[in-house]
Structure 1
Amino acid sequence: MARITYIEHGGKEHVVDVPTGLTVMEGARDNNIPGIEADCGGACACSTCHVYVDADWVEKLPARDAMEEDMLDFAYEPDPVRSRLTCQIKVTDALDGLRVQMPEKQI
């Protein structure tokens, strides 16, 4: 289990415990976190679960694969370093304390 902080664009924080094995997107969906739409249900076929990972966590996450890189091209204002698709981040105990911020909108 990992405690993850989801930060809405306006700054409101949602701190939730997400079970190991789920994705960061599933943690948001299961806890009704606004700002992560996940239209494709986690298939990495859209960019509506885009977030900006807190700078302290960028190097601690597994690298983006080519499919995620391609889908981030469709995200709203992607950051070349901090942008990730939450459907591609598997929750492990090592992610305890992860902080992610939603963009102004999902497209």
Structure 2
Amino acid sequence: MIHVTFIAPDGQQTTIEAEEDSTLMQAAVAHDVDGIVGECGGAMMCATCHCHIDAAWQDRTGGPSSDEVEMLEGAAAEVDDRSRLSCQIRLTPALDGLVVHLPEEQM
């Protein structure tokens, strides 16, 4: 299992256990993490799974693709250099302990 900690805008932390090879969005939705909507189901057709990867984890998650960057332009919350679509991050053992910050809003 992969452990992921989500940090809400108010600082509240939620740690979940996720299946290896699931996406970050799938794991968040399966565990009812408030702040990840995933309206399109992971098809990269919305930006309701926008999140901010903790700076300590950015090298391990990698950067967004050009298509992801384009989709992030429509995100409801501020986009910065830590922004990713959680549907595009596949959970592997290298990401065990991942820390993700949730934006103020998704829609």
- Identify the TM-score tier after normalising by the shorter chain: over 0.9
Residue 77 of structure 1 corresponds to 78
Q: d(CA) in 1 for partners of 2:11 and 2:63? A: 26
Structure 1: segments with no counterpart, 5+ residues: none
SS in 2 for 1:46: coil
How far the C-alpha of 1:10 sits from its partner, in A, is 1.2
> After alignment, is 70-79 or 58-67 more displaced?
58-67
Supply the AA of the counterpart residue of 2:56: D
One-letter code aligned to 1:89: I
Counterpart secondary structure, 1:36: coil
CA distance in 2 between partners of 1:90 and 1:52 (Å) = 15
Shift of 1:85: 0.5
TM-score by length of 2: 0.95
Note the alpha carbon deviations across 1:69-98, whole angstroms, 9 max, x for none.
Answer: 11111112001x100100000000100010
Alignment of 1:31-70 (within 5 A): 31-70=31-70
Task: Report the count of equivalent residues.
Answer: 106
Structure 1 residue runs of 4+, over 4 Å off?
none
Give the equivalent residue in structure 1 for 2:22.
22
Task: Report Cα offsets for 1:22-64 as digits up to 9, x if no partner.
Answer: 0000110000110111110100000000011100011111331
The letter for the 2-side match of 1:47 is A
Give identity over the alignment, percent. Answer: 41
- Aligned partners of 1:10 and 1:49: how far apart in 2? 18
Question: Residue type matched to 1:77 in 2?
Answer: E
